[in-house]
Amino acid sequence: MTTTNEVRKLTEREYEHGFVTAVDEDTVPRGLTEETIRAISAKKNEPQFMLDWRLKAFRHWLTMKEPTWQNVRYPPIDYQDIIYYSAPKRKAALKSLDEVDPEILKTYAKLGIPLEEQKMLAGVAVDAVFDSVSVATTFKEKLAEKGVLFCSFSEAVQKYPELVKKYLGSVVPYSDNFFATLNSAVFSDGSFCFVPKGVRCPMELSTYFRINAADTGQFERTLIVAEDGAYVSYLEGCTAPMRDKNQLHAAVVELVALEGAQIKYSTVQNWYPGDAQGRGGIYNFVTKRGRCQGANSKISWTQVETGSAITWKYPSVILQGDNAVGEFYSVALTNNYQQADTGTKMIHMGKNTRSTIISKGISAGHGQNTYRGLVKILKGAANSRNYTQCDSLLLGSTCGAHTMPYIEVRNRSSRAEHEASTSKIGEDQLFYCRQRGISEEDAVTMIVNGFCRQVFKELPMEFAVEAQKLLSVSLEGSVG
Amino acid sequence: MHLLEIRNLHAGVDGKEILRGVNLTIDPGEVHAIMGPNGSGKSTLAQLLAGRDTYSVSEGQVLYQGEDLLSMSPEDRAVAGVFLAFQYPVEIPGVGNMYFMRTALNAIRRRRGLEELDAMDFLALAKEKLKLVEMDQKFMNRSVNEGFSGGEKKRNEILQLAVLDPKLAILDETDSGLDIDALKIIAHGVNGQRRPDRAMLLITHYQRLLNYVVPDRVHVMADGRIARSGDRQLAMELEQKGYAWLEQQPDPTSRRGAVAQ
């Protein structure tokens, strides 16, 4: 009883430093029934196939049980106590940065976010000087020239229904898992990207330049398709602290790489992690999967996960085409009472397929960090290779690190390697740095960044710089 | 005012007393050597001066340029010009040697109100100092001490000494574990760092380093105290007679310490 109330309070409460949200009539009633699904689909004016798909997912979801195998703890979620749809909200604009919580501004300053961008992130009305709409338009024109389709998921459903129909659920089927199935039934919006044959996307695609265009809410869905020989690099998230009043986030990302195509997907996740006592914070239950469908294709996931109270995600690659390459580079940091159970799955089906997994877990405070990974090399995947390296770094003595690798190799010509290490930031290392004049806090940041270097070097340049700063901000108060 | 003045210093760990009344005075420009058998407290003294908090001081005081050194944090001591060349230099994976040294130097410069060096200026400085210890520039691109041989680690310490430009350099068994060639390089590097405004304190088990770096004063530590002080002759005498000779000497007291009191 009490816990249900607690959850209710948590799910409903506005984040203390949150944005003022305009009164918004365009919502469906609390709770989840077939009617809810129909209402969502109708409000979005979706074609029949979308509604059918959502309903199939919903009916399947009713038969499923919430997973309990992951190494995280949270009170039960009442799925009937969530509002599943509200139209894209317009944030009530603040008049100036003076109205923004000074703590947030301090964080922005530490992250080195330019002033105009700070305003945008904090929901302050932007000056004419920085016209985000015109910036976005310029980008869109440039992309259109190359034939790259990049828009919100809702827009794609309207404009490119054939493509959506062809690829939606082709990597993460509606029946995949409890949270993905829930997402399939109720997802509100997300991103869609299609790069046609032979096209190298001329810029890093990011959600950044449509930050105001779509408030995708808690059930986000992303679909990226790269046709033969195409290349795209996609950046998700941003280092600035993301505030959201929804506690449960269950997103799905699907990537499809056809013959010779390459998709690079980079994430920096910095959702609200809860307070120092572990109250509040986002539950980030995400299903991300890519399919290297064609021969010689490549999918690379890079993630820096510093936010959320609970992170549950395993960006995976199905290596279907011969010679396909899958990569997973991850930094997951848990401080205070944060919990992360994250890793990857590499499913080798094609011949000569290769995968690399580099996972760096950092635990501080009472944080719990679990790497969970599956490397599965099927019978037909002759001469396949996997290399896995899992390193954990502990700060202090009240946190935890766990490594749970699963390796299945079904043929004799393939090879899987696994290396794991756990280390503590040593008194010796800290003293060495401090003796050289480097403050304790800077020393911790330096050591942690060194620990993560293998992963950071996979990030696009400007993202890497931000990620380093982000780590130092996230680690604040974890020493001394 | 002396650069460093240690008065009747008692310190230990977990209630076990290791230093039992150390007295020592060092002036700018001087090179002092502290010798002594294992467990005599030499390294404890070095670490304590650099700010290691493993040890607790029960009595006595340490004045550095007239200020209470023991109340300062390790980084404050570094800013004030105290440098320790570690006996066991620490590895920091993923952190480039160049980046590490530049960060350290700039942290110190910032605190001293000096302008920070940018990457280009620092590279120029590093190149010059690398010559002193006969190190290749590629060392700067490797992670701090990671995969370095014993000799390379020690040279890297002297390199940092040269880059950070301290007033008091404490070298904790920098000569241990080196072959004769490496020892010569280290000694050459140390000699190159002798200056009228800089003092050095060499902690060593063997006197062989002192064949190459000639100290102004030699102290022998035994049982947590400075048992004898003298000039280079003392080191040679020790080499001949061994530390056992010392233990036969009755009631050791440091001459220098007696003067200070």
The number of beta carbons lying within 10 Å of the beta carbon of residue A237 is 20
pLDDT of the residue at B160: 96
Q: B180-192 and B150-164 helices cross at what angle (nearest 10)? A: 0
pLDDT of the residue at A166: 96
CA distance readout (Å), B60 to A442, B22, B57, B221: 32, 9, 8, 17
Note whether B103 contacts A442, CB cutoff 8 Å: yes
Segments making up each domain of chain A, as ranges: 97-474
Dist. CA B208–CA B210, nearest whole Å: 5
Dist. CA A202–CA A142, nearest whole Å: 8
CA distance readout (Å), A336 to A14, A78, A306, A366, B259: 21, 25, 11, 5, 55
> What average pLDDT does the structure give for chain B?
90
pLDDT tens track for A275-302: 777 777 888 899 999 999 999 999 999 9
Residue type, A363: S
CA distance readout (Å), A76 to A277, A309, B75: 19, 15, 48
- Cβ-based neighbours of A244, under 8 Å, separated by 6 or more: A15, A218, A271, A272, A282
Q: Cβ contacts (< 8 Å) between B74 and chain A: which residues?
A: 431, 434-435
pLDDT tens track for A78-95: 888 877 776 554 445 566
Q: Is A415 on the interface with B (CB under 8 A)?
A: no
Structure letter (DSSP) for residue B55 = S
Dist. CA A47–CA A159, nearest whole Å: 11
Whether the predicted pLDDT of A351 surpasses 90: yes
pLDDT tens track for B117-130: 998 999 999 999 99
Residues 440..479 of A with a Cβ closer than 8 Å to B: which?
A: 440, 442, 446-447, 449-454
Note whether A435 contacts B100, CB cutoff 8 Å: no
Q: Is A138 exposed, middle or buried (0-12, 13-18, 19+ CB in 10 A)?
A: exposed
User: Which of A336, A342, A338 is CA-nearest to residue A304?
Assistant: A342
Query: Is the pTM here over 0.90, yes or no?
Result: no
Whether the predicted pLDDT of A375 surpasses 80: yes
Query: Strands A220-226 and A248-249: what pairing?
Result: unpaired
> Do the Cβ atoms of A291 and A325 come closer than 8 Å?
no
User: Which of B70, B97, B94, B99 is CA-nearest to residue B82?
Assistant: B70
Helix (H, G, I), strand (E, B) or coil at B47: helix
> What average pLDDT does the structure give for chain A?
82
Q: Which residues pair with B39 in a beta bridge?
A: none
Query: Span A245-250, mean pLDDT?
Result: 75
Maximum distance among all alpha carbons in chain A?
68
pLDDT tens track for A458-476: 888 777 877 888 887 777 7
Residues above pLDDT 90, as percent of chain B: 67
For the question of an ipTM over 0.90, the answer is: yes
CA distance readout (Å), B157 to A243, A303, A436, B30: 46, 36, 11, 20
Determine phi and psi for B129, rounding to 5 degrees: -75, -30
Whether the predicted pLDDT of B57 surpasses 60: yes
Whether the predicted pLDDT of A480 surpasses 70: no
Retrieve residue A276's tokens: 């120092």
CA distance readout (Å), B73 to A42, A429, A431, B94, B116: 66, 16, 10, 26, 22
Q: Cβ contacts (< 8 Å) between A455 and chain B: which residues?
A: none
Retrieve residue A393's tokens: 């770094």
Note whether B95 contacts A447, CB cutoff 8 Å: yes
Average the pLDDT over each of A110-114, A453-457, B65-69, B143-147 and give the range with the smallest value. A110-114
Q: In which order are the strands placed within the sheet that holds A385-394? A: A205-206, A231-237, A262-269, A298-305, A325-334, A354-363, A385-394, A415-424
The number of beta carbons lying within 10 Å of the beta carbon of residue A278 is 16
Determine phi and psi for A102, rounding to 5 degrees: -60, -30
Residues 295..354 of A with a Cβ closer than 8 Å to B: which?
A: none
Q: Is A411 on the interface with B (CB under 8 A)?
A: no
> Do the Cβ atoms of A273 and A243 come closer than 8 Å?
no
CA B139 to chain centre: 22
Maximum distance among all alpha carbons in chain B?
58
CA atoms within 13 A on the CB side of A477: 10
Dist. CA A252–CA A288, nearest whole Å: 6
Mutation site for B-interface testing, chosen from A424, A433, A453 by largest number of B Cβ within 10 Å: A433
**Distance of residue A306 Cα from the nearest chain B Cα, in angstroms:** 20
Determine phi and psi for A365, rounding to 5 degrees: 55, -125
Q: DSSP assignment of A193-206, as one string?
A: EEE-TT-B-SS-EE
- At the topology level of CATH, where does B4-260 sit? Rossmann fold (3.40.50)
Dist. CA A343–CA A328, nearest whole Å: 8
**Helical spans, DSSP H, in A236-367:** none
Dist. CA B219–CA B201, nearest whole Å: 10
Dist. CA A100–CA A241, nearest whole Å: 13
Dist. CA B103–CA A61, nearest whole Å: 54
Structure letter (DSSP) for residue A393 = E
Dist. CA B113–CA B116, nearest whole Å: 9
pLDDT of the residue at A95: 64
pLDDT of the residue at A94: 61
Q: Cβ contacts (< 8 Å) between A451 and chain B: which residues?
A: 93-94
pLDDT of the residue at A135: 52
